[in-house]
Amino acid sequence: MAQRSLKVLIAGGGTGGHIFPAIAIANAVKEREPETRFQFVGALGKMEMEKVPAAGYPIIGLPIRGFQRSAPWRNVGLPWRLLKSLLKARRVIHTFEPDIAIGVGGYASGPVLAAAQRAHIPTLVQEQNSFPGATNRMLAKRASRICVAYPNMDRFFPAEKILLTGNPVRQDMVRLTGKRPRGLEHFGLRDDVPTVLITGGSLGARGINQGIEAALPALQKHGVQVIWQTGSPYFAQAKAAAEKLGYTDCKVHEFIARMDLAYAVADVAVARAGAISVSELCLVALPSILVPLPTAAEDHQTMNARALSDRGAAVLIKDERAREELGDAILKLVGDANERERLKAAMQSLGMNNAAEAIAVEVIRLARSGALNSKDRS
């Protein structure tokens, strides 16, 4: 007798770091079970409402949003938004009748997985960071499985529920074989000169950008090529700073669409410590200086960076020290081939490929077991 097609609910978003892994998981499930039906749930007004349909999947938006620490008066309507989101999540569960619900982090994850757990539907939590947020710690108590990217997560979650998979990343971003010549041409770089990649995400990173601007004269003096993704707020200032110095080997970009080509040509990277960025850097084994975002929820970026630096796999610089320390740290790493090789080896030991596939196998297993143990909802 043929098995009926599965129904998979995926909740979360807010940033590319949540959205792209969610899509990668859905794609991996679909490869194994082509007839699977998917329903995404995100937060209204967030980027998942555009990115998920562009990837070919339907999405429903909840009116939920996060606590505004910088503007407390904006939180007056938060309880009402939460209540409306919980009720809407319950309706989604009732109408879609999923065989499994997956939470990838972000505002929508909490209400949806909580509603699924109350309905006795198997749930899978995909925790991307080395220090989980309060919502995932709460959801984990009733979750069927918790897929994690770092070892020793039994400090936060029940050990018997943990599956170490790594983080799903966009595979085209980490497949670099044969891309170096194309990358050199794409960015207008020379092959015989050390290259440093600076990235703080699409919105930029103030501490990193200020540190790089302060370091430009020293980097130029030492003949270092720079690919600098500034983000939109800092782009004009960075471009003007490089032009003032006549630093033609500093390639300033508001946003880099082909990050794979940047990885392929770089000898050293300077980056924030978001979970997906860190996972990509480990998979491409690019010696890195990590400058965690100090305002990240529960300081999870610092925890991510320490998960590498404590294992000798990255250099950690605090955001408030970037202006004073970043230039010297870059030049030290660029000038020490042995240290770069040591960092590469340590990063390779932490990189976990095929995470989406590993998670998909577990999703299908749980969904099939849930379907067998529940009433027929077809």
In the chain, what percentage of residues exceed pLDDT 70? 93
Q: Is residue 115 very low, low, confident or very high in pLDDT (cuts 50, 70, 90)?
A: very high
Please give the pLDDT value at position 214: 97
Q: What is the pLDDT of residues 205-264, one digit of tens each?
A: 999 999 999 999 999 999 999 999 999 899 999 999 999 999 999 999 999 999 999 999
pTM: 0.89
For 7-167+354-373, CATH number?
Answer: 3.40.50.2000
HEC-encoded secondary structure of the chain: CCCCCCEEEEECCCCHHHHHHHHHHHHHHHHHCCCCEEEEEEECCCCHHHHHHHCCCCEEEECCCCCCCCCHHHHCCHHHHHHHHHHHHHHHHHHHCCCEEEECCCCCHHHHHHHHHHCCCCEEEEECCCCCCHHHHHHHCCCCEEEECCCCHHHCCCHHHEEECCCCCCHHHHCCCCCHHHHHHHHCCCCCCCEEEEECCCCCCHHHHHHHHHHHHHHHHCCCEEEEECCHHHHHHHHHHHHHHCCCCEEEECCCCCHHHHHHHCCEEEECCCHHHHHHHHHHCCCEEECCCCCCHHHHHHHHHHHHHCCCCCEECCHHHHHHHHHHHHHHHHCCHHHHHHHHHHHHHHCCCCHHHHHHHHHHHHHHHHHHHCCCCC
- Choice among 11-15, 79-83, 219-223 with the minimum mean pLDDT: 79-83
Q: What is the pLDDT of residues 147-162, one digit of tens each?
A: 999 999 999 999 999 9
Fold of 172-350: Rossmann fold (3.40.50)
Please give the pLDDT value at position 104: 94
Residues of the chain with CATH 3.40.50.2000: 7-167+354-373, 172-350
Please give the pLDDT value at position 76: 58
